[in-house]
Amino acid sequence: MQHPAGQGRIASAMRRFLDSEASGGLVLMAVAALAILTANSPLAPAYFGALHSYVGPLSLQHWINDALMALFFLMVGLEIKREMLDGQLSTWGRRILPGVAAAGGMAAPALVYVAFNAGDPLALRGWAIPAATDIAFALGVLSLLGPRVPVSLKVFLAALAIIDDLGAVIVIALFYTTGLSLPDLAGAAAVLALLYGLNRRGVRSLLPYLLLGAVLWLLVLRSGVHATLAGVLLALTIPIRLTPGKPEASDEESPLHKLEHALHKPVAFIVVPIFGFANAGVSFAGISAGVLLEPLPLGVAAGLVVGKLLGVFGASALMIRAGLAQLPAGASWTQLLGVSLLCGIGFTMSLFIGLLAFADSAAMQDLVKFGILAGSLVAGVAGYLLLRFSRREGKAPGTAGA
């Protein structure tokens, strides 16, 4: 049984985490709107020209998407490891509901997308686009609702989105990797082994991990696997405990906690907004509203709105009705439905997967952006309104006590 002081420390850490993510989501909303305005203003030529200009071996957009976003994925990896070993996902009891909800929330949107694009083999490459949830955006919307939403639902959404991110990382590694270079892969594996060795030998200084992480990023970039996955691999080797084999020694002085704390605000307020500004800009010149009825953007939008709702809420309801999980404390079924809608905000990771899926077609990338923006907007507004006008309940019919 955990001591009250320990519970207070975890609750305080989670509160800081949620507050930071929510603030970052609000910034991301503003940046996405600014990107769209810029892409449809007299500044558009300069905006697109700058993104496609080369700085050394890569264009500015590639530096942002391949290098800067590696920090985002490093942060994702650190959060996944911390939550799995020392947080809200540290036991199977805590993992079961958000885990099953995340699985349903990835499978159903993919099936909806495939249903709309079954006749187009090229478009089918984008099946994973609506499967992702943007935790910053979703928590940003929740922050606008204040105390109307119980903390338990915010924790549920954060845990679900972290598992969702893990699924997205696996999907990227398995399905969006081409032209593999075996020598570079072997080099990356060797560097990863060195990083693991540092961890096993009890090295607590972050400097050697970061230096080897930079080498790992370069080798992964050259290997054909997307370079940002180097960030996740590096995160998994960062020590979380001061004393190996003693979970009680895990605290905020560990290397993982220190690095996560150092990265949190730069990633939330610099890295992700820069990515959003560089990739959300889409020109509406010569585009009619009917473009959203084309199978590709319609599949993305429907996947985010309908697929996420069916997958997250449906999987959660089945688990709760079967007595295998409990409705989050203080939440009603209507509020769970609202949070399931918010999971349809797929901005950052959906954009990222869309860029990988259609790397050779700017036109298809634009269609993907239309679908993501439309679907995320509908899901966000619908989820907000449902939560705004719903009432909290101590229990929902058919649920066990919280």
Output the pLDDT for position 224: 80
Query: 376 falls in which pLDDT band (50, 70, 90)?
Result: very high
Structural domain including 105 reads 88-174+293-392
Q: 181 is written with which tokens? A: 């270079």
Q: Exposure pattern of 290-309 as b/e (b: 16+ CB <10 Å)? A: ebbeebbbbbbbbbbbbbbb
Q: Is pLDDT larger for residue 398 or for residue 139?
A: 139
Give, in order, the Cα–Cα distances in Å from 32 to each of 25, 35, 37, 78, 272: 10, 5, 9, 26, 10
CA-based nearest residue to 328, from 159, 167, 162: 159
Give, in order, the Cα–Cα distances in Å from 401 to each of 95, 315, 336: 18, 20, 16
The per-residue pLDDT for range 324-343, each reduced to its tens digit, is: 888 888 889 999 999 999 99
Is 309 contained in some domain?
Answer: yes
41-45, 150-154, 306-310: the lowest-pLDDT one: 150-154
Residue 13 has pLDDT above 60, yes or no: no
Coil, helix or strand at residue 55 = strand
CATH number of the domain residue 113 falls in:
1.20.1530.10
Residue 259 has pLDDT above 90, yes or no: yes
Is 98 contained in some domain?
Answer: yes
Tell me the pTM.
Answer: 0.76
Output the pLDDT for position 15: 55
How many distinct structural domains can be found in the chain? 1
Q: Average pLDDT, whole number, for the chain?
A: 84
The per-residue pLDDT for range 272-287, each reduced to its tens digit, is: 899 889 888 888 776 7
Is 320 contained in some domain?
Answer: yes
* Residue 258 burial (C-beta neighbours within 10 Å; 0-12, 13-18, 19+): middle
Is 308 contained in some domain?
Answer: yes
Is 382 contained in some domain?
Answer: yes
The per-residue pLDDT for range 31-70, each reduced to its tens digit, is: 989 999 999 999 999 999 999 999 988 899 889 988 898 9
Output the pLDDT for position 399: 41
Are 47 and 207 a contacting pair, CB within 8 Å?
no
Residue 90 has pLDDT above 90, yes or no: no
74-83, 111-120, 283-292, 382-391: the lowest-pLDDT one: 283-292
Percentage of residues in the chain with pLDDT exceeding 90? 43
Are 249 and 241 a contacting pair, CB within 8 Å?
yes
Q: Report how far residue 367's alpha carbon sits from residue 294's, in angstroms, rounded to the nearest whole number.
A: 9
Q: Exposure pattern of 362-376 as b/e (b: 16+ CB <10 Å)? A: eebbbbbbbbbbbbb
The per-residue pLDDT for range 190-201, each reduced to its tens digit, is: 999 999 999 999
Is 75 contained in some domain?
Answer: no
Is 345 contained in some domain?
Answer: yes
CA-based nearest residue to 169, from 235, 252, 253: 235
Q: Report how far residue 280's alpha carbon sits from residue 395's, in angstroms, rounded to the nearest whole number.
A: 40
Highest mean pLDDT among 96-100, 222-226, 244-248: 96-100
Is 16 contained in some domain?
Answer: no
Q: 284 is written with which tokens? A: 């509406």
Q: Report how far residue 186's alpha carbon sits from residue 205's, in angstroms, rounded to the nearest whole number.
A: 26
Q: Report how far residue 396's alpha carbon sits from residue 330's, in angstroms, rounded to the nearest whole number.
A: 9
